Amino acid sequence: MTLVIDIGNTYTKIAVFKQEELLHVEQFQTVDIKVLNGFLSDYQINKTILSSVKKDKEDWQSALSGKVSVTHFTRQTANGIINHYLTPETLGLDRLAAVIGANYLFPGKNNLVIDAGTCITYDWIDASGNYYGGSISPGLNMRYKALNYYTAGLPQLNADQTFDKSFGNDTATAIRSGVQNGIKYELTGFIESYKNKVADMNIILSGGDCIFFDTLLKNSIFAPYIKIEPYLVLKGLNAVTQNNND
């Protein structure tokens, strides 16, 4: 079995895979060796792959290396795609793992990966496994927090999945309209742009807010093309270990 660890900007996700099957996944704000020992005692882990968007390593990472074989996911260990990114050393490992996952799950397909996390990333990989790049914009919660942080009078609000108006008629609904409709228009704009270039493609929603984004797009003309893969990054990291076994 494989232990997959993804250290993101906000959370650390830990998953257990039996070959391609996702058996278990948990999300943590903080991780220590006790957490990892729980996984190691509950499952027969024979290898681990670890990816981190952070530069500093925590003590538990070194401790883990003494217990099980660990592969550190890097741009050099990535496989399964052809990476044309002009500055590969600056490409986020989460974005790289996501497109690897998309290509692994849907081989021979054009895939637009939209990762709805702390940031919203849009990444395109074609049917031949060529990856050229994508786009990064502020995420859902980041937009709400920014309006409060950078102004003197706007309140701190959270996302509201029930909001379905085209405009606001008070400050709260005006903020919700700006943030949530703004994201919806951004999503449909990016999707339409790619669709105009390649009509036959999957739209893969991933990340913590992917269900919310799916709701934003449920009445759009793109809904039939949407596939929900909340654990796409984890599956991409696991795919790297599967490819290494070939």
Domain edges within the chain? 1-72, 80-246
Q: Which residues of the chain have pLDDT under 50?
A: 246
CA 177 to chain centre: 25
CATH 3.30.420.40 applies to domain 80-246: yes
- The CATH number of 1-72, from 3.30.420.40, 1.10.940.10, 3.60.10.10, 3.40.50.920, is 3.30.420.40
Same fold, 1-72 and 80-246: yes
Burial track 64-85 (b if 16+ CB lie within 10 A, e otherwise): beeeeebbebeeeebebbebeb
CA distance 5 to 67: 15
pLDDT of amino acid 34: 85
pLDDT of amino acid 245: 59
pLDDT in tens, 188-223: 999 999 999 998 999 999 998 999 999 999 888 998
How far is CA 127 from each of CA 131, 174, 197, rounded to the nearest angstrom?
10, 41, 13
How far is CA 18 from each of CA 62, 226, 238, rounded to the nearest angstrom?
24, 26, 10
Which of the residues are catalytic? 94
pLDDT of amino acid 246: 47
CA distance 160 to 180: 9
Model confidence, pTM = 0.89
